[in-house]
Amino acid sequence: MFGITAYGAYIPRSRLSRTAIADANDWFDASLRGLAKGERSTCNWDEDTITMAVEAGQDCLSVLDADSVDTLYLASTTLPFLDRQNSVVVSQALNLGDRLRTMDVSASQRAATSALIAMLEAGHSDKRTAMLVASEHRRTRCGSRAEMLWGDGAAALGVGNENVIAEYLGSETYVNDFVDHYRGEDSTLDYEWEERWIRDEGYLKSVPQAASRLLEKVGVKAGDIAHFVLASDQAKTPLAVAKKLEIPAQAVVDNRIASMGVAGAAHPIVLLTAALETARPGELILLAGFGQGTDVVLFKATDQIGKRRPKTGFAGALERRRPDDNYNRFLSFNNLVERETGKRGELDKQSYLAAMYRRKDLLTAFIGGKCRECGTVQIPRDNYCVNPECGALDSQDDYPMSTIPGRVKTWTADRLTFDWNPPAYFGLVEFEGGGRLMMDFTEVEEGSIEAGVAVSLHFRIRQFDNQRGFRKYFWKATPSGQ
């Protein structure tokens, strides 16, 4: 048996009220008021496609053996680097080693489903596993329909032949250069075409074409589909497509437009994780990805479906939320306004690539050291053991610490130093089992941090080097209750 073996999801905590967006923009476009229901997920200033991919990957690895992963694909249309393999950064942050195949898959809203089909068709022998991570952080024009309906998020899947939770039954692709939107090489914002035309000429023709071919090929009736995943920011379109295919209306998976928005190329995989959480053994799941044609993939839930649930999953990620009605902060975090940052924000943050490479074990993988002589854990790793009663030379083995919980020993809230979301919180973190490190804190709500508070670690943007178009990543601590 071959198919999906694990899944994970991540949705940023911040949920911007759509009413706040409409309040700021309906003076120009009154129709936005009709979309002002619910909320959309929004990245913090130090989150992007890579950091969300790491979060989703960690959730997937909570039930998947990292040592078995030999392939990692990252699917997104909003990759931070155009000429640097983003999937390598994700793989090293996840401590997947240096003997795996990595690939970035982009340029279409069906990038994730196409990558998934490639993995499924390639197959994996023995106990090896392929991992797909899909992540999206799309920028939109102020006061646009897209700003109201889109959201940020990521999801991850494990693919292999051991502990299969959803058996792969087949796939089909219909290719058609139907341009519903596009983004040229000199633009950071999408240009979209008319909604009704996209529905009638796109979804209602492309998806049934591919799905009918697949169902006929595998000998499955449309009426037997229990979960139908079709990502779209058009609320009624998935139901219309299902009706045309004669798939039961109750099988259509909610697109979660009201609670998070549509996360672009990642959204089919995000919704698939939602379907996997509720599927029962024997139920059929039909996944569709739309963009210059359609991908469709058919799965059958196995008796393992309820036994391999991730630490957070889709429901947990959706529930972990912080309401926000500050539209100006959203604009600032997404560089949609030019904000005065003050003199301290003008400092040159040049990236010293040689130094970064030499310390990539700490900076990206967050690996400390554990002394073979006395068992002392320390971070950063050094030539000598920090235990004054030991002091052994070259005695430390690699000790991954990104998933180890810690506690705040000291902390400071600084409004003098520059931070994109002041005040800047930083302090000393002590890790369970040993090791201390001065770290930045992120997503701290006032009054939520004190000495002794438990923290978890998250891979985030540390600094932007805007002069050279580079961004530096490191791990930050977040109060665990948030």
Q: 421: domain CATH number?
A: 2.40.50
Same domain, 123 and 11: yes
110 DSSP 8-state letter: T
Q: How confident is the model at residue 481 (pLDDT cuts 50, 70, 90)?
A: low
In whole angstroms, what is the distance from residue 27 CA to residue 39 CA? 20
Q: Which pLDDT score, from 0 to 100, does residue 123 have?
A: 80
Is 340 within the bounds of a domain? no
Q: Which pLDDT score, from 0 to 100, does residue 104 have?
A: 98
Please provide the average confidence, as pLDDT, over all residues in the chain: 95
Q: What would the mean pLDDT of 242-261 be, rounded to a whole number?
A: 98
Q: Looking at residue 66, which CATH number applies to its domain? A: 3.40.47.10
Instruction: Centre a 10 Å sphere on the Cβ of residue 319 and count the other Cβ atoms it contains.
Output: 11
Q: What would the mean pLDDT of 141-156 be, rounded to a whole number?
A: 97
Percent of the chain with pLDDT over 70: 99
Of the candidates 142, 148, 115, 152, which has an alpha carbon nearest to the alpha carbon of residue 131?
115
Q: How confident is the model at residue 139 (pLDDT cuts 50, 70, 90)?
A: very high
In whole angstroms, what is the distance from residue 310 CA to residue 329 CA? 32
Is 455 within the bounds of a domain? yes
Q: What would the mean pLDDT of 276-285 be, rounded to a whole number?
A: 98
Is 457 within the bounds of a domain? yes
Is 22 within the bounds of a domain? yes
**Chain CA centroid to CA 130, Å:** 17
Is 432 within the bounds of a domain? yes
In whole angstroms, what is the distance from residue 176 CA to residue 184 CA? 19
Of the candidates 339, 344, 320, which has an alpha carbon nearest to the alpha carbon of residue 328?
339
Same domain, 219 and 254: yes
Q: Which pLDDT score, from 0 to 100, does residue 467 have?
A: 86
Same domain, 159 and 239: yes
Indicate the SS3 state at residue 395.
coil
Q: Copy the structure tokens of residue 123.
A: 């197959």
Same domain, 7 and 119: yes
pLDDT tops 80 at residue 347: no
Same domain, 267 and 204: yes
**Chain CA centroid to CA 66, Å:** 18
Same domain, 327 and 254: yes
Q: How many structural domains are present in the chain? A: 3
What does the DSSP assignment read for 196-212? HHIIIIIIHHHHHHHHH
Is 339 within the bounds of a domain? no
Domain containing residue 448: 349-364+401-479
pLDDT tops 80 at residue 208: yes
- pTM value is 0.96
Same domain, 292 and 392: no
Is 446 within the bounds of a domain? yes
Q: What would the mean pLDDT of 127-153 be, rounded to a whole number?
A: 96
In whole angstroms, what is the distance from residue 459 CA to residue 319 CA? 21
pLDDT tops 90 at residue 86: yes
pLDDT digits (tens, 9 = 90+) for 285-329: 999 999 999 999 999 999 999 999 999 999 999 999 999 999 999
Same domain, 392 and 407: no
Same domain, 378 and 423: no
